[in-house]
Amino acid sequence: MTLLPSSLLLSGFVLGCATTTDMSREDVLGGGPLGGTSWRLVEFEGGDGAVLMPDDREKYTIVFETDGRVSVRVDCNRGSGPWRSDGPNHLMFGPLALTRAMCPPGSMHDQIVRNWEYVRSYVLEGGHLFLSLMADGGIYEYEPMPSGTD
């Protein structure tokens, strides 16, 4: 049995990983199936089964840009921030720069902003986008935005 230097083993491992992945640079930086799509909130189902629905779906929107940026409307506030997908169905949002207007009672604003950094995965099913929070914290369901409402 011939022993290989550890640097050669490591470079072979790295090369093997680089050639077996099907993620392109565009997928990681905001391309893939989400890049260029726009969504509005249908509902949030918490890990405890409680369901919350927005009073107006147009007040809760996400636009995934192809350059790794996301634009959002969260009730009476608007903002933007980075997003990335490091693999199939993986999703992470970076810090959200958001206006700070005080939204009316009953708004889902505070909950969405609080949960923002805990989104870890997504599923596209039946034309809807499902964003899952880590540790079974809940799932946000979004539907495609009608044309011309961006």
Altogether, the residues listed in the chain come to a count of 150
Confidence grade of residue 11 (pLDDT, cut at 50, 70, 90): very low
Number of structural domains (the chain) is 1
Instruction: Name the helix (H) or strand (E) containing 111.
Output: helix 109-115
In this predicted structure, what is the pLDDT of residue 32?
Answer: 78
CATH of the domain at 132: 2.40.128.270
Q: Is the pLDDT of residue 19 over 60?
A: no
pLDDT digits (tens, 9 = 90+) for 130-140: 999 999 999 99
| Higher pLDDT, residue 110 or 16 | 110
Cα within 13 Å of Cα(140), Cβ side: 23
Give the DSSP letter string of 57-73: GGGEEEEE-TTSEEEEE
* pLDDT tens per residue across span 39-91: 999 999 999 999 999 999 999 999 999 999 999 999 999 999 999 998 899 99
In a domain, 2, yes or no: no
Q: Tell me whether residue 6 is in a domain.
A: no
At 65 the pLDDT is 96
Print the domain residue range for 132. Answer: 23-144
Nearest to 74 by CA among 57, 53, 94: 57
> Residue 4 domain-assigned?
no
In a domain, 9, yes or no: no
Q: Coil, helix or strand for 75?
A: coil
Please tell me the predicted confidence (pLDDT) of residue 35.
94
